[in-house]
Amino acid sequence: MATTQSRTLAKIMLFPSVSLLLAWMIVPLCMTLYFSVLDYNLLMPGDNEFIGFLNYEFFLTDPAFIESFFNTLLLVGGVLFITICGGIGLAVLLDQAIWGRNYVRIMVLAPFFVMPTVSALVWKNMFMNPVNGLFAHFAEFIGVTPIDFFAELPLLSIIIIVSWQWLPFAALILLTAIQSLDREQLEAADLDGAGPWSKFVYIVLPHLSRAVTAVILIETIFLLSIFAEILVTTSGGPGYSSTNITYLIYTQSLLQFDVGGGSAGGIVAVVIANIVAIFLMRLIGKNLEG
């Protein structure tokens, strides 16, 4: 069905988006590469001399670098785990016949609509604050010492906040997938005497694999550059325990307007992100096609 005419037309149709994205990617990328080999600090206009790989060396030998690298992986992995497990559970639940389905749905979807800065502030001040927060009040109510979330469990606190934001997204996609499940297959399994658990594991889960793949892919893209939540709550600390690569770039370079250093960090982040992407594609890429 792909005639030569439609092939050419197809190329023409593709042209705007591809060229725009190319420009969007190439131009800043080139500028960033260029700046990364300069000694360029916005606050100290000088000759911006060429210093080769010094910026990279500085960024990579930072004692915080290894820790932020692992924090980034933990952050992404943790949120993915919670949102996918929670999402599947929610999707199954929402698929059932219930009263007031519209209301339930909008309540589940709501966190996705809230701005990340607002979510972080609400969680920080109203819930996790060890003196005035609701969790603290609850702990006192049941007679335990309240947990100081951002001091004792900084990374976990951020994971909780971000998972809350992304859970609706995962639940939504997985709900759609469940709703497309072929009921006949399930009924056939019923006749074969399968219990609800084995039906879930052998029929529902495999069907969801494509949707899960989609969720993983999209969430990973966004989760690698989590920034606002960290800025507003822990500022990467205590120490470096809740700093991820994006935040490290910010504190190392942008905070002091070291454009050279920040650019080097940005390039490193791109390389890491692409490695993660290739890895992901190897792992689950087959699920996308077919």
Alpha helices in 145-227 (DSSP H): 149-152, 154-179, 183-191, 196-199, 205-223
**In the complex, least distance from residue 165 CB atom to other proteins, rounded to whole angstroms:** 9
DSSP per-residue codes, 233-281: TTTT-STTTT--HHHHHHHHTGGGTBHHHHHHHHHHHHHHHHHHHHHHH
**In the complex, least distance from residue 279 CB atom to other proteins, rounded to whole angstroms:** 12
Specify the residue, 43 or 142, whose C-beta has the smaller distance to other proteins.
43
Residue 239 CA from chain centroid, whole number: 23
Specify the residue, 104 or 156, whose C-beta has the smaller distance to other proteins.
104
Specify the residue, 78 or 127, whose C-beta has the smaller distance to other proteins.
127
Encoded tokens for 206:
């495999």
Contacts of 141 (CB under 8 A, 6+ apart): none
**In the complex, least distance from residue 252 CB atom to other proteins, rounded to whole angstroms:** 7
**In the complex, least distance from residue 37 CB atom to other proteins, rounded to whole angstroms:** 14
Length of the chain, in residues:
290
In whole angstroms, what is the distance from residue 71 CA to residue 236 CA? 10
Specify the residue, 159 or 224, whose C-beta has the smaller distance to other proteins.
224
